[in-house]
Copies of this chain bind each other. A is one copy, B any other.
Amino acid sequence: MADVAAAAGVSLSTASLAFSGNKPVSEETRDRVLAAAGALGYAGPNPLARNLRRGRSGVVGVAVGRLSTAFRDPAALPMLDAVSEVLDAAGLGLLLMPHGDEHAGLPLDAVIYDICGCETWGPYDDLVARGVPLVVVEGPAWAGATYVDVEHRRGAADVARHLHDLGHRRVATLTLDSSHPQREREAGLREVFPDAEVIGPCDSDLVAAQLAVGAWWDRGGEATAVVCQSDVQAAGVVLEARRRGMDVPADLSVAGFDGVATPWLDVELTTVVQPLAEKGRATARAVLSRIAGEVADDVLLPVRMRVGGSTGPAPSTV
C-alpha cells in the first residue's frame, strides 16, 4: 500500500483512508489512490494486517462432530444455515471445527458448540484462556458460555401426554447417547410415563434406529408406542415395524422429534417441531453480542408438538 500511496502522491495514512473510508477523503484523492492501485495491481488492504490491527479475525468457529455424522441429521442444516446467514451479513465467516484440537492455532473471534452428541469435548482450554466467547447450543453448562436451547423437556412431555390421552400405557423410548437434550427429554417423558422402558441409545440415523429397535423386539421388547429423539430415528422405527408386519399407527404409535421433512415416508410423523431457523439466528445473534463485548442473555426457545399420522389410539388388545 505504501507503493500505491507514493504513486498517488499521498501519504500512507491517506491511502489507507481512501480504501477503508473510515474518515472522509476528498473525491479526487480517492480516485487517484484507486487508480494507482489499479495500475500497480494492488488488490486492496491485506486482510491479515487489518486483522492484526483490529484484533479480530472475522472468523467464527463452529464445533461439530465429524461432518458426515453432524450433518446427516437433517435438523442440523436449517439451523446452521440460519447461523451462517446472520453471520455473513455481519461480515463474519463460519469455520468448521470437526472434533479434534488441530484448530488451536487459528484466530477465532468466537466459537459455537452445537452439541451434536459431542458432550465429552469440554471447551478447549485454549479458547477459554484466550477469552474467546463461547456460545453453546443445547449443551451442558460451561462457565462463561452463552446458552441457546429449546424446550426439550416440555416437548417430550407434550408428546407423552398426547400418547397417554390416546390410551397408551406401555411406552418405550429410543434414546440418543447421553447428552443434555437427551436427559431433558427423558425427564419430560417420565413426567407422564415414569416407567417407560429404554430401548437403548442409537445415533440419529435411519439404519441405526432400525437395528436398535429390531434387536429390542427380537429380545422380546413390547410397547404400544415408541418415542424417538429425532424424526430420522422415528422413520427407522416405522420402517422396521412395517417390515415386521406391524401397522403404524394401528399396532404401534411412533413419535419423533425435530419436525424435519421426511418426504420419503408415506406417513407424517407426530413430532416436536423445533424452531430450527430461529435457533440458528438466536445463536448468531448471541455470537455477535459477545464479540461486541456485550453480555448476551441465554435463550430458551419454545417448541410445538405436531400431531401426524404416526400416532393413534392404543390397540385395545394390550
Contacts and interface: CB of A to CB of B under 8 A. Distances in A.
B105 A50 contact: yes
Interface stretch (A5-13, A67-75, A221-229): A67-75
Interface string A82-106: 0011001101011111101011011
B91 A68 contact: no
Contacts of A50: 105
A199 interface: no
Contact of A48 (B95, B96, B102, B107): B107
B81 A67 contact: yes
B107 A84 contact: no
Contact of A95 (B59, B71, B72): B59
Interface in A211-231: none
Chain A interface extent, by class = 35 or more
B52 A49 contact: yes
B48 A67 contact: no
Given A48-B55, A264-B265, 16 more contacts: A44-B126, A47-B105, A47-B107, A48-B51, A48-B57, A48-B107, A57-B107, A59-B106, A67-B77, A71-B77, A84-B96, A88-B102, A93-B96, A93-B103, A210-B263, A239-B264
Nearest to A232: B264
21 contacts: A47-B57, A48-B48, A48-B52, A48-B55, A50-B105, A51-B52, A52-B52, A66-B81, A67-B81, A72-B77, A84-B98, A91-B102, A93-B95, A93-B96, A93-B106, A94-B96, A206-B264, A210-B263, A235-B264, A239-B264, A264-B265
Contact of A68 (B81, B97, B206): B81
A10 to B, nearest CB: 22
A98 B80 CA distance: 11
Contacts of A43: 126, 129-130
Given A51-B51, A264-B239, A102 B126 contact: no
Contacts of A235: 264
**Which of A66, A93, A207, A261 has its CB near the most chain B CB atoms (within 10 A)?**
A93
Contacts of A206: 263-264
A117 interface: no
Interface string A23-65: 0000000000000000001011011111110011111010000
A78 interface: yes
Contacts of A263: 206-207, 210
Contacts of A61: 93
Contacts of A210: 263
Contacts of A59: 59, 93, 95, 106
Contacts of A105: 47, 50, 58, 91
A95 B59 CA distance: 8
B98 A95 contact: no
Contact of A84 (B46, B52, B67, B106): B67
A100 B44 CA distance: 19
A149 to B, nearest CB: 22
Given A49-B52, A206-B264, A98 B88 contact: yes
